[in-house]
Amino acid sequence: MTYDFRAIEARWQRFWDEHQTFRAEVDPERPKYYVLDMFPYPSGDGLHVGHPEGYTATDIVARYKRMRGFNVLHPMGWDAFGLPAERYAMKHGVHPAVRTAECIRNFKRQLKTLGFSYDWAREVDTTDPNYYKWTQWIFLQIWGAWYDPEQGKARPIGELEIPAEVSAKGAAAVRRYRDERRLAYLHDAPVNWCPALRVVLANEEVAEQVELGHEVVRRPMRQWMMRITTYAERLITDLEGLEWPASVLDMQKHWIGRSEGAEVEFPIEGADGIKGAGAAINVFTTRPDTLFGATYMVLAPEHPLVARICSDQQRTVVQAYVDAAARRSERERQAEAAEGQKTGVFTGAYAKNPATGGRVPVWISDYVLMGYGTGAIMAVPGHDERDHAFAQAMDLPIVEVVSGAARPIAEAAHTEAGLAINSDFLDGLATPQAKQRMIDWLEERGLGRRRVTYKLRDWLFSRQRYWGEPFPLLHRPDGAVVAVPEDQLPVTLPPLDDFQPSESGEPPLSKAVGWRELPDGSLRETNTMPQWAGSCWYYLRFMDPSNAAAPFSKAAADYWLPVDLYIGGAEHAVLHLLYARFWHKVLFDLGHVGTREPFQRLVNQGMVLGATYYPRGRAGIQQNFPLDEVEPVAPGSDQWIHKLTREPVEVKWDKMSKSRGNVVNPDDVISQYGADTMRLYEMFMGPLEHSAPWQTEGVAGCHRFLQRVYRLAFETSDDEGVPDRLRELPAGEGSDRQRRLLHRTIHAVSERIDRLAFNTAISAMMVFVRDIVAEGEPLHRDTLAQFCLLLSPFAPHLAEELWSALGQRTSLAHELWPAADEALLVDPTFPLVVQIQGKRRAELAIPQGASEEDVKATALAHPDVQRHLDGKTPRRVIYVPGKLLNIVV
RNA sequence: GCCCGGGUGGUGGAAUGGUAGACACGGGGGACUUAAAAUCCCUUGCGAAAGCGUGCGGGUUCGAAUCCCGCCCUGGGCACCA
């Protein structure tokens, strides 16, 4: 027999289950460590090898921290609402709940075979009514709150002071006053409506559907929104102090997109039969200093003023442009515009530039977005590239108002700062001062004001789908929207077998007759929540997953928060993390959690890439060959050819996906090599943060290493049926040499786990195993025992097996992590590298603590050094203690 | 276009101003075996050598894969954001 990983892994997984080895409970006596994975969506395809990369990393940290004496919370659950289950239901007639349960079972089975030290008693499933009851409860906290700008925080809506003139108008007016200020509110928002599928598409889905030939139109729809923009400032400032990758911090900041500037009013000129006379166009600008150079204006096609100000001659062409814009998705419009195709039409209206007093034409164009700023801009073609391109295309005037342009202003916009020119009272001022001066001037005259704008938009929070959390809201006959009382939560999903929205876009739940109507004539809200809802707070539920009276207890939250380490893919760098932070802040304001931020340290693992074989020169999705149709020209070659045609094939490393056919299933790897090998290889591929290709040959190397470890303890026989025998290992840690090797390994592995440098931690253990065998001295018992502890976070099954073979009765999961004896980390001598002119010429052993003079003298006397010096006199000698000597001649 | 990462042997990678290529894969050679697999050992950046080598060109430094400037290539994110 040899290393029988199947039996070993099954045995220890059973042991951990039976002994509840990884059960975690609140224990104020011990320091806590909360290490969290981004929980998966349990798809029908099952795990691919990309999932366990992050999970293995967190598991190593969890096991390591546990052995360091921390009370570790390491949970897992399922982000199980979502579109795929609903689509599957439409196609195969299987209810999403049934399908989801199947997928979860499969995912859980796969995760269990990897031996992760999750506390499975804390498993959560976002589609479980006992879970989404509290998702609904949190929604009601948000809906039941408003943002008090004076205190800079959310407060219960009941604390909102109602002005006397509002209360005088009666209950309906008070209700409206409150509803307009809630953190969740109804709003007509433009969405991507796909008539063919009868669903609202996410921006990222639009391209795909258009490719499939489905028409997608922008269309306003009544939606629930969340007022995340009120938190914009705090979402930026609280990033300070988080241990997150700088790139993610940047992405969040850019997404929120704070910019300082001014809001300026341009009155509409009442001439030529323009109906909009008397109205004004509000614009936001970050460059109020260039106001004298504003030669035209542009409104977004959806801007409410467009219809009002449009002249009769222009009405037809304007209406056509607006209609065309509505037919195209936001992404499509922006993509075309980015390629330099500037389109737009003149409305026939003119506005008055408040600085120059001059008349400027008002246009509409795609390149102005309704969702940002005020949906209107003052165009300064001299100093903004987009405006410049538009002005050139439409033959609009360009005026230079900032000096210092490198090229004539007619040719290119000058966007840098400079000194104001052609700008009356601003002339000669530098850009920053000119901005301030202009804002002051506008404010004095009531023509504008200082303003901060964010790119961040309010969060569209409702979906016209079945497989999501129902909103716990009722529409009363009088039009009032009221909350379902807390004691009636959860509002469960009604059974339904038709998941299609109606022609008009009414959500599927509107078809749930008998569920939707209440005896008093109220109707339930029929939208459902987006998938984000469940994932916005799952890390909170993990702290106290079976609490029936509250989403989590105060005691649990005070003990476990914040999450100390959160690992997941970079694709969640913005949306998920931003939404979860937002909810957390609302809960913080309302006193439910005690930390401002949920996730203290964040690490993004890289992608695991799969080899994809394409016909030469035609790399692209749907073009690739399946793996069994290709082979290398010769064993070990990286030149691949098609088996039948013998044509050369191009190998690319792509993100694993079913459509590319490059997915590697962990089940296959585990059945061939075992979970410990799989875990080891996942970590050995390279740095956690980097994407890395999955190379099946590489797995064998990790397997060989574990076999060597196994044979350190066991004598194996090739003969069938001869059981492995535990070697007789002498007691203690052995010779000085063995002890040095052991302690050096302890030191290296510990320090590298601390840095999440798992690939090099593993190589340190490989070196240990190689050298310990080569020594010729038998391995000693205590040396092996301590090595088992080092190995256990990485390959826990084998480590447990050896640990018990050494006579231990309990799991090593709660053993104390070995401590390196500092004295053994230093050798009596160190190798000194001698360089001449920066080139390595010799290496000699120098006793530890030798004086600089002695070292120099010894080095200079060395024959190799003498030879390379070739009679020249050293001009300078640089000594780096303990390392290196560089001789300059 | 903008932002953020990368670029080191045949391959994944190591080295965070001090010996470039740890560890592993793959290759070559050998031992064991009737044979193969498995296992073990040797070898493996290029070059006959002097030397040359971390995408390219410069710079700083006694010393640069590492720091600075310019360029090229590549991955990811965002995109007419006023």
- Give the CA count within 13 Å in the CB-facing half-sphere of A780: 16
What's the rounded Cα separation, in Å, for the pair A803 and A274? 88
Q: Is the CB atom of residue A877 positioned under 7 angstroms from any atom of strand B?
A: no
Tell me which protein residue sits closest to nucleotide B82, measuring alpha carbon to C1': A285
Q: Distance in angstroms, CA of A429 to C1' of B23? A: 62
Q: Verify cis geometry, omega within 30 degrees of 0, for the bond prior to A490.
A: yes
pLDDT, tens digit, 9 for 90 and up, residues A833-850? 888 887 788 888 888 878
Q: Is the CB atom of residue A20 positioned under 7 angstroms from any atom of strand B?
A: no
Q: A670 pLDDT band (50/70/90 cuts)?
A: very high
Q: Is the CB atom of residue A770 positioned under 7 angstroms from any atom of strand B?
A: yes
CA diameter of chain A: 107
User: Is residue A642 within 8 Å of A629, Cβ to Cβ?
Assistant: yes
Range with the poorest average pLDDT among A166-175, A456-465, A545-554: A456-465
Is residue A638 predicted with pLDDT exceeding 80?
Answer: no
Range with the poorest average pLDDT among A204-208, A565-569, A878-882: A204-208
Q: Is the CB atom of residue A365 positioned under 7 angstroms from any atom of strand B?
A: yes
User: Is residue A27 within 8 Å of A72, Cβ to Cβ?
Assistant: no
Is residue A889 predicted with pLDDT exceeding 70?
Answer: yes
Spatial CA neighbour of A86 closest among A490, A501, A461: A501
pLDDT value at residue A1: 54
pLDDT value at residue A373: 79
A626 CB neighbour count, 10 Å cutoff = 9
DSSP per-residue codes, A689-714:
TS-EE--HHHHHHHHHHHHHHHHHHE
Q: Is the CB atom of residue A251 positioned under 7 angstroms from any atom of strand B?
A: yes
User: Is residue A81 within 8 Å of A467, Cβ to Cβ?
Assistant: yes
Cβ within 8 Å of residue A152, ≥6 positions away = A234
Q: Is the CB atom of residue A686 positioned under 7 angstroms from any atom of strand B?
A: yes
What's the rounded Cα separation, in Å, for the pair A337 and A541? 45
**Closest nucleotide to A843 by C1' from CA:** B19
Tell me which protein residue sits closest to nucleotide B17, measuring alpha carbon to C1': A880
Spatial CA neighbour of A246 closest among A607, A753, A602: A602
Q: What is the mean pLDDT of residues A729-735?
A: 87
What's the rounded Cα separation, in Å, for the pair A166 and A169? 5
| H helix runs in A590-674, sequence order | 666-673
What is the average pLDDT score of chain A? 87
Measured at the CA of A24, the angle between CA A23 and CA A25, to 5 degrees, comes to: 125
Q: Distance in angstroms, CA of A703 to C1' of B13? A: 18
pLDDT value at residue A128: 96
Q: Distance in angstroms, CA of A769 to C1' of B1? A: 53
Q: What is the mean pLDDT of residues A107-131?
A: 96
Note the residue count of chain A: 889
Element (H, E) at A740: helix A736-754
pLDDT, tens digit, 9 for 90 and up, residues A351-380? 999 999 999 999 998 888 777 778 899 999
Q: Distance in angstroms, CA of A637 to C1' of B27? A: 9
User: Is residue A135 within 8 Å of A469, Cβ to Cβ?
Assistant: yes
Q: Is the CB atom of residue A457 positioned under 7 angstroms from any atom of strand B?
A: no
pLDDT value at residue A36: 94
pLDDT, tens digit, 9 for 90 and up, residues A174-225? 999 999 999 999 988 777 777 877 777 766 666 667 777 777 777 778 889 9
Q: Is the dihedral of CA A420, A425, A430, A432 positive or negative?
A: negative
Q: Is the CB atom of residue A321 positioned under 7 angstroms from any atom of strand B?
A: no
Q: What is the mean pLDDT of residues A612-635?
A: 61
Q: Distance in angstroms, CA of A366 to C1' of B66? A: 47
Q: A621 pLDDT band (50/70/90 cuts)?
A: very low
User: Is residue A8 within 8 Å of A798, Cβ to Cβ?
Assistant: yes
Helix (H, G, I), strand (E, B) or coil at A155: strand
pLDDT, tens digit, 9 for 90 and up, residues A234-278? 999 998 888 888 878 888 888 888 888 899 999 987 655 555 567
What's the rounded Cα separation, in Å, for the pair A527 and A466? 8
Q: Distance in angstroms, CA of A630 to C1' of B38? A: 27
pLDDT, tens digit, 9 for 90 and up, residues A449-503? 998 888 888 888 888 889 999 999 999 999 999 999 999 999 999 998 888 878 7
Is residue A419 predicted with pLDDT exceeding 60?
Answer: yes
pLDDT value at residue A491: 95
Give this prediction's pTM.
0.90
Measured to protein CB atoms, the chain B nucleotides within 7 Å are 3-5, 10-15, 18-20, 22-28, 37-41, 52, 62-64, 75-82
Residue, of A188 and A588, whose pLDDT is higher: A588
What's the rounded Cα separation, in Å, for the pair A380 and A401? 9
Range with the poorest average pLDDT among A270-274, A392-396, A559-563: A270-274
Strands A199-201 and A359-364: unpaired
Residue A443's alpha-carbon distances to A228, A295, A352, in angstroms, are 29, 21, 17
Residue A324's alpha-carbon distances to A201, A332, A366, A387, A592, in angstroms, are 19, 12, 10, 21, 48
pLDDT, tens digit, 9 for 90 and up, residues A684-704? 998 998 888 888 888 889 999
Q: Is the CB atom of residue A282 positioned under 7 angstroms from any atom of strand B?
A: no
What's the rounded Cα separation, in Å, for the pair A640 and A633? 6
High-pLDDT (> 90) share of chain A, %: 49
- Which pair of structure tokens corresponds to residue A239? 């990033």
Tell me which protein residue sits closest to nucleotide B4, measuring alpha carbon to C1': A247
**Closest nucleotide to A283 by C1' from CA:** B82
Q: What is the identity of the amino acid at A211?
A: E
Range with the poorest average pLDDT among A112-121, A763-772, A794-803: A763-772
Is residue A636 predicted with pLDDT exceeding 90?
Answer: no
Residues 799-858 of A with CB under 7 A from strand B: 831, 833, 835, 837-840, 843
User: Is residue A142 within 8 Å of A584, Cβ to Cβ?
Assistant: no
Compute the radius of gyration of chain A from its Cα atoms: 34
What's the rounded Cα separation, in Å, for the pair A818 and A841? 39
